[in-house]
Structure 1
């Protein structure tokens, strides 16, 4: 195989993924302009993709971990060669700007995640080794993985799903969000220049394709990132075939600022913890609890940071915040902020979208003096609006942080790491960060508690979740 890697342009990527006839129009959420047409696959195409994946799986599983890792590394090379075209397509379809922790960042993360997954070391575990017995725990490929992804980080989350699946010897059938199919189709087209046929297939379709994928007898496991409501539907659909599941569902992450924190020192990290991807991130900071003693200082510091962050068309190199990806999400954010204002909360900045501009732009919004039972706090806003809740005692803050039925991530902000760790241990969330929020790492397991889902991704534990445990005694 040649060591040269082809470099795609945006036009060549679109040519590779657009159907020759028909398809569904995909529009830029920043301008409303047509980006391209996406194929409208149905259940017949899904059945064919599953059959091809099953046919390719045995030969793929027969390769060693080292061989499969080499394929992942070559796929990372291919992504890097076409990085700018992929980032431009992502920006136009999803809306996120090229710069900041956005489109270029996401494409770069795809390549980095493939390499990190390829480098993980998974060895058989010796369970017993004495004079009478020897037992080892191995992890064998499951078979065919069905991956259902979201629209907020369509490329990166696809790699989170496909990289460990392929590394473990499984083949993959992916179903992207109807809002962002082009990004995933293009990413897979680039990756597939380095993979054997049938190992990775994308089926671009609607709800009926997702429902069929979750129930499909040829799928051995489903990985899903998205809403809790859809996750529950997948659980029901998968029951008859007793599929394994990894579900990363909705979060409404809390952050607790302690009294010893320096408001200005933490303000920018707080901002990006909440507003990365314009707030459209499952593990973003969505509720901020601040003690009375420094409440006004934290609010003022956040307003100062927010004023400096330009929002606009993602292809403008100056912007770091973009539009909401779709009208439905725009309406949710607008409703929640309006309800907070009507209930007497104080809007520090933002809260008034411009009616006559194109695109689903909602301004960066900070809301203070808000009750903990307000809908902007209780419901996941998934957009650029952060409620800042005042608390009197630390016990009150922890109780409020733990008071919802979700628990994906959380954070504690303090100048005293030891105290912060003590507080972190009391928070009901799958990941708790100290003086940062949402800082995921491909080496570190990630997963939710309560109704934020179950199962682990990332790291060696994420590899194990894509294998069938087998004990050999």
Structure 2
């Protein structure tokens, strides 16, 4: 894999095409320099990868649950052994601080494989006597899972799709993010040394690769994480074959602070929730809803914290917030700052950008707090996906809930209040798949993760996720406890029909 700062040579992979149009270049977000040029796949290579996976899956599904679990545990151990290496690679093409990549991304990735290694040793199944029948229900793999991974947490999303899919007995063909594919490619390289041949494949490329994967007739299910608009496109493509899909899409998550909240706790959680991972997170606390009696105090506290954030190269241990993943993503977020000011929002605080000339070409956006934001503004309703927090005022509990539920998204939410009953009422009323009360700890492996509305559907990272990657199959077996009733018992189908002579 090429990672030099000079003009990189083209790197070819197993499923690379020969078409120059399928080439794409990966940049270091900290400097803007090209670090790799990959020869991506085309439709023919996607087809070949899926067919190879389809053939290999037949043997993989016959492995015992214990054998599959052991493979997943080996993968978890391998991720831990190579965590520092993969984290450095992730920083090089994603931009995030290496400490976050290793301590959060890789730690969670290993934990996900461990989770499903344990889950599959006691797979979901049921057996029940039903009169003269024994009904046995098992979980069957779909066959080949088409997995499409986004750029913000590539190792986590790779693990979140591979681990449960493999546990149930599927093979997987995975498309890494074209913006930041290098950590995924290294991770799959390590995994391919552990799983049987052709059970896992990676097909690099841009949007057409994902479309070809979603359209393939041998793909039993699609697992997609990314932007809602892209998710809709994937879903429409998959619908032509009636291929089911698991969609984890965007979020515009409310972080609700009541006037009796412990602000010494709430503000640090808001800084983590809003600016960790450069705000490039579907779970980002991008909407700060604050009760009017403490609005000014919270604004001042958050502003002081924002100004203390260090923006810089993710490889620098002093960095809190790294660059965004691409120049296009940088431009998009900066445009939203202009949109917000034009709508009447106030740019209340920003962190300083790095002064190092070496980083002048990097894709940096200053962590920003926008105040005096109205719930109707675009910056309060659209997913910015960058280090920008919008601060909205509310009067009472009912208004907080109305504002929180006022967008199409419903992924996660945070509620901060010293009144436990009010916190629980609010959490119950907010439309979200996961609600944090008096904290915003998103390291939730083992807890069902997913949303509703524009945030998608299905649940990841928990035991029930096995049902997302398999379907129920029931066997009805005579148990000898009595005759099995027919609905037309008087019809004697064993009698010999009377022969009639032809006239």
Name the TM-score class by shorter chain: over 0.9
Q: Distance in 1 between matches of 2:298 and 2:101?
A: 25
CA distance in 2, matches of 1:27, 1:141: 38
Q: 2:373 aligns with which of 366, 370, 375?
A: 370
- 1:63-74 to structure 2, matched below 5 A, reads 63-74=63-74
Name the SS for the 1:241 alignment partner.
coil
* Contact 1:284 1:437 survives alignment (8 Å): no
- Which position in structure 1 is the counterpart of 2:233? 233
Q: Residue in 2 aligned with 1:142?
A: 142
Deviation at 1:410, TM superposition (A): 1.3
* Counterpart for residue 464 of structure 1: 467
Q: Give the distance between the partners of 1:59 and 1:196, measured in 2 at CA.
A: 9
Matched ranges for 1:446-465 at <5 A: 446-465=449-468
* Equivalence map 1:30-429=2 (5 Å): 30-99=30-99, 101-120=100-119, 122-126=122-126, 128-129=128-129, 132-350=132-350, 357-429=360-432
Cα drift, residue 438 of structure 1? 5.7
In structure 2, what is the Cα distance between the partners aligned to 1:253 and 1:198? 39
- Between 265-274 and 104-113, the greater mean CA deviation after superposition: 104-113
How far off is 1:289 after superposition?
0.6
Q: Which deviates further from its counterpart, 354-363 or 182-191?
A: 354-363
Q: State the SS of the aligned residue for 1:111.
A: helix
In the alignment, which residue of structure 1 is the partner of 2:433? 430
Residue 417 of structure 1 deviates from its aligned partner by: 3.1
Deviations 1:291-317 (A, max 9, x none): 011112212222232233211001111
Counterpart-to-counterpart distance in 2, 1:105 and 1:440: 8
- SS of residue in 2 equivalent to 1:180: coil
Is 442-451 or 430-439 further displaced after alignment?
A: 430-439
DSSP-derived class of the 1:137 partner: strand
Q: Secondary structure at the match of 2:66?
A: helix
Per the TM alignment, residue 19 of structure 1 is displaced from its structure 2 partner at its CA by 2.1
Alignment: residue pair count: 461
Give the whole-Å Cα distance in 2 for the aligned partners of 1:9 and 1:209. 22
Unaligned runs of 5+ in 1: 1-7
Q: Deviations over 1:101-132 (max 9, x none)?
A: 33442122211211122112544443644655
Measure, in 2, the Cα distance between the counterparts of 1:432 and 1:291: 19
CA distance in 2, matches of 1:288, 1:134: 55
- TM-score of the aligned structures, taking structure 1 as reference length: 0.92
Confirm or deny: 8 A CA contact 2:250 2:282 kept in the other structure: yes
| Contact 2:311/2:354 (8 A) holds in 1 | no
Instruction: Report how far residue 24 of structure 1 moved.
Output: 2.9
In structure 2, the residue corresponding to 1:48 is in which secondary structure? helix
Cα deviation digits, residues 225-252 of structure 1 (max 9, x gap): 0111111111111112111110011111
Alpha-carbon displacement from aligned partner over 1:409-459 (angstroms, at most 9, x marks no partner)? 111112233321211110111111212336242211111111211112121
Name the CA distance, whole Å, in 1 between partners of 2:291 and 2:349: 20
Task: Judge conservation of contact 1:158–1:184 (CA < 8 Å) in 2.
Answer: yes
1:278 touches 1:322 (CA, 8 Å); kept in 2?
yes
TM-score, normalised via structure 2 length = 0.87
Alpha-carbon deviation of 1:146? 0.2
The answer as to whether partners of 1:76 and 1:115 remain within 8 angstroms in 2 is yes
When residues 82 and 222 of structure 1 are mapped into structure 2, their CA distance, relative to the original with a 3 A threshold, is: same
